[in-house]
Amino acid sequence: MPAAAASLAYINARTQLSQDLDILYATVSGGIRMKRRVNNKKINVFHLLEERALSTETANRSFLVTPPEIPKDYTEETIKNLKTTEYTYRETYDLVLKYATYLKQERGVVRNDIVALDCTNKPLFVFAWFALWCLGARPAFINTSLRGEGLLHCIKLSECKLLLLDAQLQDALTPELSKQLESLGVTATILDDQLETRVRSIQGRRPTDEEIGNPDQQDMALLIFTSGTTVSLHLP
């Protein structure tokens, strides 16, 4: 037995067979899970969040954890008192429904709409992202460093009618860009603290399954505009 084990270990080291088997297992099991979701009409990733949020086993597990923002004039004592921000599956789900309700009732977002999302790395980005999927809409992630013609170019390519802009990036919305967006029929909404407070006070309502829709595996889930999509006329 020791000789056989050593031989198998040698073969595995030379061929990486165990890694291939792991990849094969992940591929097959993932395909089975995907097929099951297609059959159950639950392919939208929002449904996965919903399942975890409504399950007593997973509802209170951490879904999103963000590090504290470190002030510029920090001290060692300040660092010790900083805390991370954590959201469970249930807390995230409830906030997603609130943002979805706001986007539907006040911004008219419906299934298959494309909505540009220009937001820094923060919980709000995730809430807005899943809220759009909750409505059956498609987010278009905009590179946060874009300004002027580069930003306008991506908004045009996305064919969106609504731009959700992080308040930290509000300088991108110049008077000139505002006029250009207006001519395109694009409305810009600033995601500031005041709006966040108002949305959190809303009674969230889950859209019906018909409103969410049942996308196919080949349907577009989202657009991502990277630094490579700012000059040439092509989709990411």
Model confidence over 111-154: pLDDT tens digits? 999 999 999 999 999 999 999 999 999 999 999 999 999 999 99
Averaged pLDDT, 63-77: 78
Asked if 119 and 195 sit in the same domain, the reply is yes
Range name among 40-44, 171-175, 224-228 with the lowest pLDDT average: 40-44
Count other Cβ atoms within 10 Å, centred on residue 228. Answer: 10
Average pLDDT value over all residues in the chain: 85
CA–CA dist 9, 16 (Å, integer): 10
Look at residue 234 and tell me whether its pLDDT is greater than 50: no
Quick one: 164 and 213 in the same domain?
A: yes
How many CA atoms, within 13 angstroms, populate the side-chain half-sphere of residue 24?
6
- Residue 113: Cβ-neighbour burial (10 angstroms; 0-12, 13-18, 19+): buried
Alpha carbons 12 and 23: distance in angstroms, whole number: 14
- The SS3 call for residue 46 is helix
Q: Is residue 82 part of a domain?
A: no
Same domain, 31 and 133: no
- In this structure, are 17 and 110 located in the same domain? no
Q: Is residue 3 part of a domain?
A: yes
* 166 and 207 co-located in one domain: yes
78 is a domain residue: no
- Residue 233: what pLDDT? 46
Asked if residue 168 belongs to a domain, the reply is: yes
In a domain, 158, yes or no: yes
Question: Is residue 65 in a domain?
Answer: no
Q: Considering only CA atoms, which of 90, 134, 92, 91 is closest in space to residue 115?
A: 134
Query: Does residue 46 share a domain with residue 17?
Result: no
Q: What is the CATH number of the domain that holds 137?
A: 3.40.50.12780
- 10 located within any domain: yes
Do 145 and 216 fall within a single domain? yes
Using only C-alpha atoms, the chain has a radius of gyration, in whole angstroms, of: 22
Look at residue 141 in the predicted model and tell me its pLDDT.
96
pLDDT score recorded for residue 5: 56
Across the range 181-189, mean pLDDT stands at 95
133 and 25 within one domain: no
pLDDT at res. 236? 41
The reported pLDDT for the residue numbered 7 is 58
Please provide residue 52's backbone torsions phi and psi, each rounded to the nearest 5 degrees: -70, -35
Same domain, 111 and 216: yes
Q: For residues 33 and 99, state if they share a domain.
A: no
> How large is the average pLDDT for residues 95-105?
97
Across 5-9, 67-71, 164-168, least confident range: 5-9
Q: How many domains does the chain have?
A: 2
Taking the C-alpha atoms of residue 162 and residue 187, their distance in angstroms, rounded to an integer, is 5
149 shares its domain with 179: yes
Sorting pLDDT into bands at 50, 70 and 90, what band is 21?
Answer: low
Q: Is residue 234 part of a domain?
A: no
Cα(220)–Cα(175) distance, rounded to whole angstroms? 32
Q: Do 182 and 109 fall within a single domain? A: yes
Domain that holds residue 196: 42-54+92-229
The arithmetic mean of pLDDT across residues 148-170, rounded, is: 94
The residue-averaged pLDDT of 49-63 equals 96
Continuous H helices in the chain: 2-15, 17-39, 45-54, 76-81, 89-107, 123-134, 148-158, 175-184, 193-200, 209-212
Output 49 or 67, whichever has higher pLDDT.
49
